[in-house]
């Protein structure tokens, strides 16, 4: 088993961005962070960098600490050092992002105030803040678009046209120039209504909208899309219709158009709730449809779950890593490695199935949430002391219901999310000649604490079954827990939870256990 845990340690320390020093003083610095003693942590990290100035991971952590303490100049200095000297591309990107945020903090605060005024319908104050920001950032076409919409809503058409014309002539994005051009046409039609020279009664934009919803209700999605697009060509500022069209495009698997409309609403709607809904939908598309619709891209997928189980007095680890290539719509293939170990099982008294397996896989996605995967490879069964060929067909459902936010920008008004995670899987495992099934629900309240950092409170319910009726694979589990994620995008979630297991075997009593550990769940295109 020591060998198994050596493998886990090596795998963990190889993941980019997760380098932990073995130096005792440096570990003390991380302990100080966990205890909220940031000044002491800064002192430790500063001393460490004197002896090892090339340690960019510690330098990055020090920069975040400076930032949290309001020491902006020192934070910018350290972020700049990382951006210029780190060999970790992702670390460089994060450092540059933080530099940009710090350099633009005054303008960003002003922009946040503008949106806050807009949410409160304090339009004069919002315009003043938006125009002040825009005077310093004349290339920000999104703010120019927002000003155009506000002026149009207030029927100040001259100022509205002024900003829309800036976008029409200056924006590098076709979607923005087209939207601005449509708005200019719409305003000019308001100021100078076209004279009807024919005797027939034209179809009004309201009629088109009614026809679109009638087609949608009848199940004619493509016809509805055409009518919604026609309506929006004359009413480009109708955010409700843009949201409806975005959902329609998502349902018909036109992901690029769906993301375009969700993004537009998220950036331009006057309604704070609507902006959050659009941003959540956009994020869901980014996460769940990237595997579903991206062709010609390779990706790495890492799942790494580690806990200590108080009832078993057992350390348990599961690592699943996959490299895949999306060779066709909905289809990908690649190689995988799967490791499951614990510290207490023995061949005579197994507490879990322990093995290491590697091979190839094929994956087909019926929908973004539902997929079939076939794995074929060789496996070493630690407790049976044998190596054999394995075949594993797996049907998986995974989805997140509700609104959630992954990143909290400075000054944001909403920092709480409520959502439900649902996961279900069924598989046949040739190596054990066994059929497994699992259903898990998590009801989560997420509280963002700044950047990518968040604190979650959750309830959890699971059912596990197999065809051989092994006691450790047949039980229901209910409980709840807490998790924390620091302000690093790919940092693992650290959690502690209390659960009660109810075994389906009448000979086994219920057990109560405390579990503590961390989880890495990473999917990234290469």
- Identify the CATH assignment for 106-191 out of 3.40.50.300, 3.40.1180.10, 3.40.228.10, 1.25.40.10: 1.25.40.10
- 341 token code pair: 């170990």
Most confident of 123-127, 282-286, 391-395: 391-395
Domain ranges in the chain with CATH number 1.25.40.10: 19-103, 106-191, 205-288
Of 363, 361, 369, nearest to 329 (Cα)?
Answer: 363
Q: Is residue 1's pLDDT more than 50?
A: no
Mean pLDDT calculated for residue range 375-397: 93
CATH number for 19-103 (one of 1.25.40.10, 1.10.238.10, 3.40.50.150, 3.40.50.1400): it is 1.25.40.10
DSSP codes of every residue in 153-194: HTT-HHHHHHHHHHHHHH-S-HHHHHHHHHHHHHHHHHHSPP
- Please check whether residue 390 is in contact with residue 357, taking contact to mean a CB–CB distance below 8 angstroms: yes
- 219-263: per-residue pLDDT in tens? 778 778 888 888 887 777 788 888 888 888 887 777 778 878 887
Residue 273's Cβ-count burial label (10 Å; 0-12, 13-18, 19+) is: exposed
- Is the model's pLDDT at 5 over the cut of 60? no
DSSP at 505: S
At residue 203 the predicted structure's pLDDT band, cuts being 50, 70 and 90, is very low
Tens digits of residue pLDDT in 468-517: 988 888 999 999 999 999 887 677 889 999 999 999 988 889 999 999 99
pTM given for the model: 0.51
Answer with the residue of higher pLDDT: 403 or 156. 156
- Residue 22's pLDDT band (cuts 50, 70, 90): very low
Taking CB atoms within 8 Å and a gap of at least 24, the contacts of 474-480 are 474/503, 474/504, 474/505, 475/501, 475/502, 475/503, 475/504, 476/501, 476/502, 476/504, 477/501, 477/502, 478/502
270: which 2 tokens? 């006057």
Side-chain half-sphere CA neighbours of 477 within 13 A? 24
**pLDDT level of residue 411 (50, 70, 90 thresholds):** low
- C-alpha–C-alpha distance, residues 525 and 113, integer Å: 35
Residue with tokens 């809904």: 277
SS3 for 104? coil
Contacts of 78 (CB under 8 A, 6+ apart): 59, 60, 62, 63, 66
Bin 328: left if φ > 0, else alpha if -120 < ψ < 50, else beta: beta
Domain boundaries for CATH 2.40.128 within the chain: 293-525
Mean pLDDT for the stretch of residues 91-96: 87
Give the CA dihedral 170, 176, 179, 182, nearest 10 degrees.
Answer: 20
Strands 386-403 and 416-429: antiparallel
Question: Is residue 19 pLDDT above 50, yes or no?
Answer: no
Give the pLDDT of residue 3.
45
Burial bucket for residue 349 (CB in 10 Å: 0-12, 13-18, 19+): exposed
202 vs 441, residue with greater confidence: 441
Is there a contact between 114 and 126 (Cβ–Cβ < 8 Å)? yes
Please report which confidence band the pLDDT of residue 167 belongs to, taking 50, 70 and 90 as the band edges.
confident
What is the assigned CATH class of domain 293-525? mainly beta
- Radius of gyration in angstroms for the set of CA atoms belonging to the chain, rounded to a whole number: 27
Judged against a pLDDT cut of 70, whether residue 88 lies above it is answered with: yes
What is the sign, positive or negative, of the torsion defined by CA atoms of 36, 40, 45, 46? positive
Architecture of domain 205-288: Alpha Horseshoe (1.25)
pLDDT of residue 285: 64
Give the largest Cα separation in the chain, rounded: 92
What is the C-alpha to C-alpha distance for residues 483 and 494, in angstroms, rounded to an integer? Answer: 5
Q: Are 445 and 419 in contact (CB under 8 A)?
A: no
209 CA to centre of own chain:
34
Residue with tokens 């998790």: 483
Element (H, E) at 135: helix 123-136
Looking up tokens 């087609």 gives: 215
Identify the residue with better confidence: 477 or 144: 477
């Amino acid at each position: 088993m020591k060998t198994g845990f050596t493998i886990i340690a090596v795998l963990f320390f190889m993941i980019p961005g997760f380098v932990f020093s073995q130096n005792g003083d440096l570990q003390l610095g991380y302990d100080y962070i966990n205890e909220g003693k940031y000044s002491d942590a800064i002192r430790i990290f500063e001393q460490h960098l004197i002896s090892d100035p090339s340690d960019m991971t510690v330098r990055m952590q020090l920069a975040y600490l400076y930032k949290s303490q309001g020491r902006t100049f020192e934070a910018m200095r350290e972020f700049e050092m990382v951006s210029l000297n780190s060999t970790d591309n992702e670390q460089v990107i994060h450092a540059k992002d933080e530099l940009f945020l710090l350099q633009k903090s005054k303008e960003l605060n002003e922009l946040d105030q503008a949106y806050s005024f807009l949410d409160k319908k304090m339009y004069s104050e919002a315009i003043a803040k938006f125009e002040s920001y825009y005077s310093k950032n004349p290339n920000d076409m999104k703010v120019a678009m927002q000003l155009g919409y506000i002026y149009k809503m207030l029927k100040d058409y001259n100022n509205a046209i002024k900003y829309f014309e800036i976008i029409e002539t200056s924006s590098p994005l076709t979607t923005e120039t087209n939207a601005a051009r449509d708005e200019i046409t719409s305003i000019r039609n308001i100021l100078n209504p076209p004279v009807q020279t024919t005797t027939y009664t034209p179809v009004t934009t309201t009629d088109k909208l009614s026809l679109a919803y009638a087609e949608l209700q009848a199940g004619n999605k493509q016809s509805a899309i055409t009518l919604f697009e026609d309506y929006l060509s004359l009413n480009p500022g109708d955010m409700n219709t843009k949201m409806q069209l975005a959902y329609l495009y998502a349902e018909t698997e036109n992901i690029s158009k769906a993301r375009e409309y969700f993004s537009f609403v998220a950036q331009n709607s006057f309604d704070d709730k609507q902006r959050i809904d659009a941003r959540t939908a956009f994020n869901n598309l980014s996460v769940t449809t990237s595997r579903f619709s991206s062709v010609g891209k390779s990706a790495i997928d890492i799942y790494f779950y580690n806990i200590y189980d108080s009832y078993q007095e057992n350390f348990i680890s599961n690592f699943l890593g996959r490299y895949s290539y999306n060779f066709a719509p909905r289809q990908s293939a690649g190689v995988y490695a799967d490791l499951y170990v614990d510290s207490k099982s023995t061949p005579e008294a197994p507490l879990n199935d322990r093995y290491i397996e590697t091979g190839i896989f094929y994956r087909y996605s019926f929908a973004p949430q539902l997929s079939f995967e076939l794995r074929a490879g060789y496996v070493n069964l630690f407790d049976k002391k044998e190596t054999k060929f394995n075949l594993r067909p797996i049907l998986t459902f995974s989805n997140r219901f509700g609104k959630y936010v992954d990143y909290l920008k400075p000054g944001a008004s909403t920092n709480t999310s409520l959502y439900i995670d649902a996961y279900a899987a069924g598989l046949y495992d040739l190596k054990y000649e066994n059929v497994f099934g699992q259903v898990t629900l998590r009801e989560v309240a997420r509280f963002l604490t700044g950047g990518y950092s968040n604190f979650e409170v959750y309830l959890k319910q699971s059912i596990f079954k197999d065809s051989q009726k092994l006691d450790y694979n047949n039980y229901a589990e209910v409980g709840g827990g807490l998790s924390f994620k620091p302000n690093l995008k790919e940092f693992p979630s650290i959690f502690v939870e209390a659960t009660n297991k109810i075994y389906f075997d009448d000979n086994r009593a219920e057990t109560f256990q405390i579990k503590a550990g961390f989880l890495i769940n990473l999917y990234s295109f290469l």
